[in-house]
Amino acid sequence: MNQVLQPTGLIRPFNLDPAECKSMYNSSLPEHLVMNLTLLLPWDQVNEEEPCAHKGVPDELARVVERCTLDAGNFNIPSKIVHSLDYREESTAEWWSMPKLQQQWLYDGVYVQVHFLNPDLIGGLFDPSCGICIGMMVYDRLVSKRGELDPSKQPSFLTTERLAENYQNLLGRMYAEGVGVWTQSLIEYRNMVMIKCRAVLAGQNPDTEYDRFVKTGGSYFLEYRRLCP
């Protein structure tokens, strides 16, 4: 008989306490910012005999991300933004059962994820452990379940002790120390990048799809599939 693991480990948004979350969320952006696009394929979607169709980053996706970095000023983002592109098959599904809104965001088993880091503190353009990315995955999960964008108001949740330890080890103090960056001033900009990138994978016009979302009055990219069927 398989042993059922009890949820005894705690996962906190960004591995921070509420006061730290509030300080991060309301902070100013650093002078330099890297926008890291990662394509994530949850392991429960992986078919080892039929690899993901989106291996690597399509050229059109790279072009759209480049254009998005040039549009940052339209969102009153003062940072000098560069971008980095990544492809990973990560155990995202192992962390939790994705809520419906996150499941709807998947395209052909791929989760388009955008996160931000301070290159002056990390010394490079990539998230070395994928911890910064996983931090945003947990944030998205809590937004989809609670409808709350302020991480200081999002609840911690229980999972298995092993998964909680893995989460804590991956994130460490990266958000607390400013290596991972997330502030309320990035929400609308990230919405644009996320929706345009997913549109490229789906063979749709990225500008058209983002304009459709804006006209609906949506506040977070996870609403896109519901508002723009």
Question: What pLDDT, in 10s, does the model give residues 62-72?
Answer: 889 899 999 99
Looking at residue 19, its pLDDT comes to 96
pLDDT of residue 42 exceeding 80, the answer is: no
Q: Report which of residues 42 and 190 the model is more confident about.
A: 190
Mean per-residue pLDDT for 183-193? 97
Q: Report which of residues 110 and 171 the model is more confident about.
A: 171
Looking at residue 54, its pLDDT comes to 46
Residue type, 103: Q
pLDDT range class, residue 4, cuts 50, 70, 90: very low
Structural domain boundaries in the chain: 9-227
What is the overall mean pLDDT for the chain? 85
0.85 surpassed by pTM: yes
Dihedral pair phi/psi, residue 147, rounded to 5°: 70, 20
pLDDT of residue 92 exceeding 70, the answer is: no
pLDDT of residue 184 exceeding 70, the answer is: yes
